[in-house]
Structure 1
Amino acid sequence: MKLVKSLLLGTAAGIAAVAGAQAADLPSRKAAPVEYVRVCTAYGAGFFYIPGTDTCLRVGGRVRAEMGFAERWSRGGDGYGTRSYGRVQLDARTQTAFGTLRAFIRQDIYSRSAFIRGGSRDQFYGAVTGGDENTPAMDKAFIQFGPITAGKAQSFFDFYASDLGFKGVINSDHSPNLFAYTATFGGGFSATLSLEDPSMSVNRGAIGGLRAEGNSWPDVVASLRVDQGWGSAQLAGVIANRGTYNVVAGGGVIGNRASTDDTGWAIEGGVKLNLPMLAAGDYLWIQGTYADGALGYLGVGSTSMNLGRLVLGAVPDYVVNPVTGSLKSSSGYSVLAALRHYWTPTIRQELYAAYTALDVPATGAFLGDARKVNPKLLQLGTAVIWSPVAGLDLGVEVLYQRLETGRRVADAKLANFGLPQVGIKSEDAFQGRLRIQRDF
């Protein structure tokens, strides 16, 4: 019996040894290395390394819903307007021997309905008459490589750029296609020279009798800026090519200016002061702008100087004398101030005010009054915003506007309701808005 057990044990041991030897000859299968997402701290919160690269990426976005209210100015107009708005943005940065290489893209999509209209325009969203409107909009798409910025970016002329408020006040806030070079110095000082496409978002005013023939060169922007612990300050100027014109009157060209470029200009200065002595996160903006032949750099667009009853139409950069065919430029200035104050860490209030005055050459008469229209617009607004959790804003805003003119203009409300015209020289308007917004 013992002999049988010995033979069985010996046989089992031999089989195990042979099997082990054969297994050692088989190819081994090792698990592939796992590439974990790593946090990138070089450029602030939210960045991570794209697996397998040395590029840091931040994915962000915004969802916003809002509803505005105002007086109805016509039978066909609504007393409220709504808008939903979505944003997705990507920020990719790589450190190189020449400095940071950055690519940034921000895509917005708007859905608007139930327009609040005055005449043929929308008081809140600039939309046309009709049903729902879904509009994609490329807000930003640019590359930065060391001192170079190229693509669709915030104009280097802009400073305040509608930083506060839901509706906000008139100011220069646009993102053209541009090519810019920024030189940085010690102490937070920098200087930028930028070539910017004015056709992207800057109003280029023309009026009856003028036919634009196109631009010969882009707008040239130069700015000096300082950023330090107390805040920021900037001085910027622009030479704005407003293109060539044919002056048309009586059905024919009476003054051909196709060989001459009409050049406007604007200058802007502003300061942003941090006010931690009031509360953490408080700051104050103060800004002033003057423009001649380039009113778009005041923030004056095709409808921005209109109110519900007092509708001026498009304010021109140039006006033509229908007799001589000569051109005269429009000029104007604006001043604004805006304050953000935190009453508590989660409740803040924003206050803003602006005054814009234009000198527009006379273009005709209404009710026998041939004086210049020269609009002047006062805007006062405030918003109270509650942020119960990080990234979520719930707020309400009220905006008051008063528009005055140097001569009587048509009363759009009387026209909309089919009543006899008497003309008006001033108009007051209130607007309200509710908003909820989530940033991530």
Structure 2
Amino acid sequence: MFKPVRKMSSITALGVSLMLPLGAVQAEVADVDIAALQAQMATQQAQMAALQEQIEALKSQQLVTQKEVSKVGENIVTRTPSGDLLIGETTLAIGGYIKAQSTLSTNGFADGKASEIVTPGSLRTVDERQGTRSSFSARQSRFNIGTSTPVAGDTLTTFVEVDFYGADDEANEFVSNSYAPRLRHAYGSWGNWLAGQTWSTFMDLNGLGEVDAFGQHASAVFVRQAQLRYTQPFAGGSLQFALENPEDAGDDQSLPDIIGRVNFDGSWGHASVAAMARKLSLDDGASKDSKWGDAYSVTGRFPTFGKDDIRLQANYGNLGRYMGLRSFPDALTANGEIEEVDAWGLSAIYRHFWTDTLRSSLAYSRSGLDSSGTANMTDSYDTAFVNLMWSPIANTTLGIEYQRFDLEEVDGDTFDLDRVHFSAQYNF
């Protein structure tokens, strides 16, 4: 007999009995999947950790590279605010100028290829029977390189400069106008010390003024030579002491020239006093003799009205080659004895600014012999200059200057020269 209730119960019981192992299987499968996922995640985490290590390694390598680049960058050329070159810790300055000159001279004055420079020796070549001569030149153009480097708590400075007034042997004015370079300056300084070739410590640039006949006025102390110099600054100035190359009539002497200078600077202007002692010797293989000579120099530069200034210079003593481009000899020799030659020199230079870009300088200088001399020695030497300088744009100066030179010898012979000088200077 069919009993539905019993049948359903049986089916239900069977289903339940069948479902029990199926759930267990599903739970087992779920457990297996979770374990696999966990293992996979662990693998991925390990991979991520390895990847992170690689990233950190790359970052470290990049940092090292940046430091190396930065270190290399210290030697890359850059510019300072003033326009100089900076290489590491060394500042490199390149400068100079191009200067074109033209002169129109009387009395046949044309001293070879250096006719733009008038010396007492070249002045003696003039001939009043001859007419005017014109000359063009760019030999005064110059080039210089300077460096400054911090070294041991101070600054090491070097400077080298050349122009083109070198030997004339290979020069010509027919085709190439070739001129040899000439050393002007070559020195190094560190702290208070300077060694090398530069302006003599006996010379004060403040006494020269702005004239195209640079260093050619009669009383100018104008010498560049090798030396060892010590400078001690003090409030309002400096004290200098130097041993410099000795020279007398083409002969090196046994002791260096000994020079001391004291400089004073302030809003009132500049003043300087220098003294020199030099031993003059005669040693020609037949006679020996020596004498000590001394010389003194006083210079000043003082502001006057507006931008104007006046420059003064007075020199006295055994000046010889130091003054006036060797207007007077260092010494005379006679009967196996040597005797120093004393001379004196005075100059005044006034500069007036017509405008900020237009200015003029008026200069007069006179020197004379203060010892007994032979017939053809210089007894007196005078120079006078007046100019007009115009700087229409930066680093450029155009000039015209009238120049007068008068020289008289002990025997009464005279030599004079009138000259007009034109110039165009371009600084870089």
C-alpha spacing 1:436/1:38, structure 2 compared with 1 (3 Å): same
Matches within 5 A, 1:242-321: 242-246=280-284, 253=286, 256-257=287-288, 260-275=289-304, 278-280=305-307, 282-292=308-318, 294-301=319-326, 305=327, 315-321=328-334
Instruction: Show CA shifts across 1:310-334 (max 9, x none).
Output: xxxxx4322233xx44333221100
Match of 1:175 among 221, 224, 228: 224
- Shift of the 133–318 alpha-carbon distance from structure 1 to 2, 3 Å rule, reads farther
Deviation for aligned residue 1:374: 5.2
Q: Of the candidates 254, 261, 264, which is equivalent to residue 226 of structure 1?
A: 264
C-alpha contact (below 8 Å) 1:83/1:111 kept by paired residues: no
Distance in 1, matches of 2:229 and 2:277, equals: 15
- Counterpart in the other structure of 1:385: 389
Which residue identity lines up with residue 402 of structure 1 in the other structure? D
Aligned length: 346
> Shift of the alpha carbon at 1:38?
4.8
Matching residue of 1:195 = 243
Per the alignment, in what secondary structure is the counterpart of residue 261 of structure 1? strand
Aligned counterparts, 1:44-83, within 5 A: 45-50=82-87, 53-71=88-106, 72=108, 73=126, 79-83=133-137
Give the C-alpha shift of residue 407 in structure 1: 2.3
Q: How does 1:382-421 map to 2 (within 5 A)?
A: 382-408=386-412
Give the match's secondary structure for 2:284. strand
Q: Call closer, same or farther: CA 1:341–1:377 in 2, change over 3 Å.
A: same
Alignment match, 1:312: none
Give the CA deviation at 1:363: 3.3
The match for 1:357 is 368
Structure 1 segment 201-216 matched on structure 2, within 5 A: 204-205=248-249, 212=251, 214-216=252-254
Structure 2: state its 5+ residue gaps.
Answer: 1-50, 109-125
- Which entry has the higher C-alpha Rg, 1 or 2? 2
Task: Tell me which amino acid in the other structure corresponds to 2:357.
Answer: T
Task: Output the CA distance in 2 between the equivalents of 1:407 and 1:180.
Answer: 41
1:233 is displaced (CA, Å) by 0.9
TM-score, structure 2 normalization: 0.71
In structure 2, C-alpha distance between the alignment counterparts of 1:143 and 1:349, rounded to whole Å: 35
SS at match of 2:411: strand
* CA RMSD in angstroms, aligned pairs only: 3.6
Deviation at 1:376, TM superposition (A): 0.8
Tell me if 1:438 matches 2:422: no
8 Å Cα contact 1:111-1:133 kept in structure 2: no
Q: CA deviation at 1:157?
A: 0.7
Taking structure 1 as reference, are residues 233 and 101 closer, same or farther at Cα in structure 2, changes over 3 Å only? same
Structure with a larger share of its residues in helix: 2
Measure, in 1, the Cα distance between the counterparts of 2:240 and 2:94.
28
How has the CA–CA distance of structure 1 residues 79 and 348 changed in structure 2, closer, same or farther, with 3 Å as cutoff? Answer: same
Structure-1 separation of matches of 2:242 and 2:387: 34
Q: Distance in 1 between matches of 2:315 and 2:387?
A: 24
Which amino acid is the alignment partner of residue 382 of structure 2?
L
State the identity as a percent.
22
Structure 1 CA distance, aligned partners of 2:357 and 2:229? Answer: 38
Q: Which amino acid aligns with 2:210?
A: L
Query: Which residue number in structure 2 is paired with residue 144 of structure 1?
Result: 189
Q: Deviation of residue 373 (structure 1)?
A: 5.2
AA matched with 2:337? S
Deviations 1:186-229 (Å, cap 9, x if unpaired)?
2x221111011134xxxx337xxxxx5x4111111101111222
| SS of 1:102 mapped into structure 2 | strand
- Flag the 1:406–1:337 CA change in 2: closer, same or farther, 3 A: same
1:130 to partner: Cα distance: 7.6
Distance 1:58 1:326, change over 3 A: closer
| 1:81 positional shift | 2.0
1:101 matched to which residue of 2?
Answer: 156
Structure 1: unaligned runs, 5 residues or longer:
1-20, 114-126, 207-211, 248-252, 306-314, 365-371, 409-424
The CA deviation at 1:263 is: 2.6
Indicate the residue corresponding to 2:18 in structure 1.
none
Deviation of the 1:40 alpha carbon: 3.7
- Residue 344 of structure 1 pairs with residue 355 of structure 2: yes
1:158 corresponds, among 178, 197, 203, to 203
Return the offset for 1:181: 0.8
Write the distance in 1 (CA, Å) between the matches of 2:355 and 2:204: 27
Which secondary structure does the structure 2 equivalent of 1:337 belong to? strand
- Quote the offset at 1:100 in angstroms: 2.3
**Structure-1 separation of matches of 2:240 and 2:345:** 23
1:334 aligns with: 345
Residue 386 of structure 2 aligns to a residue whose secondary structure is strand
What is the alpha-carbon distance in structure 2 between the residues aligned to residue 244 and residue 328 of structure 1? 10
Closer, same or farther: CA 195–111 of 1 in aligned 2, 3 Å? closer
**How big is each residue's C-alpha offset from its partner over 1:227-259, in whole Å with a ceiling of 9 and x where there is no partner?**
222221110011123333339xxxxx4xx11xx
Cα offsets for 1:149-189 (capped at 9, x unmatched)? 11111111101463421114131122111111111112x22
Shift of 1:129: 9.4
What is the aligned counterpart of 1:239 among 269, 272, 277? 277
Offset, 1:90: 1.8
Q: Structure 1 residues 105 and 374, CA, compared in 2 at 3 Å: closer, same or farther?
A: closer
* Secondary structure of 1:242 counterpart: strand
